[in-house]
Structure 1
Amino acid sequence: MSTDTKTIDQFLTENPDVDVSKAWERSFGILTDIKNRIAERFSELELDPDCEGREYYTSPNGEFEGSMQAWSGKGIEWLVNSWIGNRKASILDMNATAFLGQETDVPHFVMVFGTIPKLFFYFDLIPRSDIRTDEEYLDKYYGGEANTDFLELRGHPNFQWSVSHGQYMRALLSPSAISMSAELTDENMDVLEDFAYRFLNRWLGWLDNAQPVPAEKRTELQRYDHKVRELGYRLDPMNKLAAQVFGEDQVETMIDVRMGKAQMEKNKTY
């Protein structure tokens, strides 16, 4: 089978016991710094109550460990810095994610590093408009420098395209989405670190110059944002691995926490 379409289970079966602690330290360090830089742009951030006590947790059998921390504040509904996996046994899923409020139409920000134990990464900007018909939005956020950087990394010889087996996850991909794998080396991490900060700085620049969304359009935008947020977490194929370790009932609770189900219910205007 091509590496493009291999499942995570297949990669792990081939190399199940690789110590990826060093990769966790560097990757999660980058993501935490990126989360902190995003947080600096927003005021009145508060840790979500459902994340209290989840700074570090383990599965009942000790096979998985992780951290789940998410904040909300003025202008940002759900800022996440989390990881889950086993640093001694090949598998890690680490992320920094920012789902914005409806004050602007700037795309939501998603950045994931993982190990399987190959290096895996997924960077994306989730559109807030139908880019199949909204040419102005498409050009503004996915053209120009963003398109040039995408093509440069997509064509890098060290990286291979990675295709999700989940059809919703493929439907979610924007024109800027990078979903790739590579050998777990410092050289490849150097390339991705440089790309990650360029990706971040461009997004922060959009926030600095964002035009406000008219008040009468914000409720419908929130409805759309919440649905995309819910489905992105609930239909993630990675949930299957967690279910094998934590159990189906516990994983359902974990998914609700990860998506911020209670936060959406509390703050929805529709």
Structure 2
Amino acid sequence: MSQSLKYVQEHLDESGPTDVSETFATWAALVERLKARVSERFALERDPSSEALEDFGGETGAKGRVRTYSGPEIDWMVHSHMENAAAGFCNVHLTIWLGPQVKVPHFGMALGCFPQGWVYLDSVPRSYLVTDTDSFDRYYEPVNERWEQVRNENSFLEPFVSRSAFVRAGLSPTAFCYMAPAADEMTSLVTELAEEHLDRWLGWVDQAETVPVEEQAALAADDEAIRRNIAERDPANVMGDRYFGAETTQQLVRALWGGDRVLPRAHEHEAHRSR
């Protein structure tokens, strides 16, 4: 299993033009199925701030869509894609940030091509796991055996390691983050892992204890800081600049963390309804 140390844009620039439209369609359909399951489980409302991003494009032929949601249990959910598939690039997101009523890790999922296939699946920590050993023992240690199995039994996978120290700091110890040729072998494994990831996460949510009310505001503030920092410090934002321009990219980044949100935060829903 080889390993390289590059940014997304370096992988894309070093490869010749490759049409990844078929893989993009596979990723988009997978994420759509998972998003439908989430919508069945949670009460969600489309945030008006993302309506302007329903259909956007750039002069290079790149295009995209961002839909954001929130609700009583979900603070912020992003269902999005950006692609210039004919030129070898696509990115499909489903990220789900829970409200502070529970302390279950957030759901992270992004699939892409540049032009190799790429997968990121993670349970985004909400605490420092070296001190919060309860969260580590509940949510990360049980996944470690599967993480080892995937790494040891799939020689076609190449670990994706970003040059950005901040990106590496944001990964949990059981993050699935790989590249591989965008072929049936990879898409089959990614589909299996993504469905497992959602099943496991939904089970965690259903079994979680309620966070004491007096602790929820601080947890909500930490959650937003994590989300904002991840969005704003992502080195792959340069791909947005390249395809859509700096102004649209900044709007996209704000959509990822909720900078222009209209609907209330998850922990504010009760107060909002009582007005």
**Which TM class, normalised by the smaller chain length?**
over 0.9
- 2:46 maps to which residue? 47
What is the alpha-carbon distance in structure 1 between the residues aligned to residue 204 and residue 16 of structure 2? 41
Deviation, 1:13, is 2.4
Deviation, 1:25, is 0.9
DSSP-derived class of the 2:53 partner: coil
Deviation, 1:159, is 0.4
CA contact (8 A) 1:113 1:120 kept: yes
- 1:58 maps to which residue? 57
The amino acid across from 2:225 in the alignment is K
The amino acid across from 1:228 in the alignment is I
Q: How many residues align?
A: 266
What is the alpha-carbon distance in structure 1 between the residues aligned to residue 37 and residue 266 of structure 2? 26
Deviates more, 1:248-257 or 1:199-208: 248-257
What is the alpha-carbon distance in structure 1 between the residues aligned to residue 253 and residue 127 of structure 2? 25
- 1:6 maps to which residue? 6
Alignment of 1:91-240 (within 5 A): 91-144=89-142, 146-155=143-152, 156-240=154-238
Alignment deviations for residues 115-135 of structure 1 (CA, whole Å, 9 cap, x no partner): 011001111111122201111
Deviation, 1:266, is 5.0
What is the alpha-carbon distance in structure 1 between the residues aligned to residue 99 and residue 6 of structure 2? 36
What is the alpha-carbon distance in structure 1 between the residues aligned to residue 259 and residue 174 of structure 2? 27
DSSP-derived class of the 2:87 partner: coil
CA contact (8 A) 2:77 2:96 kept: yes
What is the alpha-carbon distance in structure 2 between the residues aligned to residue 165 and residue 228 of structure 1? 20
CA contact (8 A) 1:35 1:79 kept: no
DSSP-derived class of the 1:213 partner: coil
Match of 1:80 among 55, 78, 89: 78
Quickly say closer, same or farther: Cα 1:16–1:77, change in 2 above 3 A: farther
What is the alpha-carbon distance in structure 2 between the residues aligned to residue 266 and residue 194 of structure 1? 34
Identity %: 30
CA contact (8 A) 1:48 1:70 kept: yes
Deviation, 1:39, is 1.9
TM-score of the pair, normalised by structure 1: 0.93
- 2:25 maps to which residue? 25
Deviation, 1:54, is 2.4
Quickly say closer, same or farther: Cα 1:3–1:131, change in 2 above 3 A: closer
What is the alpha-carbon distance in structure 2 between the residues aligned to residue 67 and residue 121 of structure 1? 19
Deviation, 1:247, is 2.5
TM-score of the pair, normalised by structure 2: 0.91
What is the alpha-carbon distance in structure 1 between the residues aligned to residue 95 and residue 266 of structure 2? 20
Deviates more, 1:107-116 or 1:147-156: 147-156
Deviates more, 1:219-228 or 1:174-183: 174-183
- 2:37 maps to which residue? 37
Deviates more, 1:149-158 or 1:134-143: 149-158
Deviation, 1:111, is 0.7
DSSP-derived class of the 1:237 partner: coil
What is the alpha-carbon distance in structure 1 between the residues aligned to residue 213 and residue 133 of structure 2? 22
Quickly say closer, same or farther: Cα 1:117–1:97, change in 2 above 3 A: same
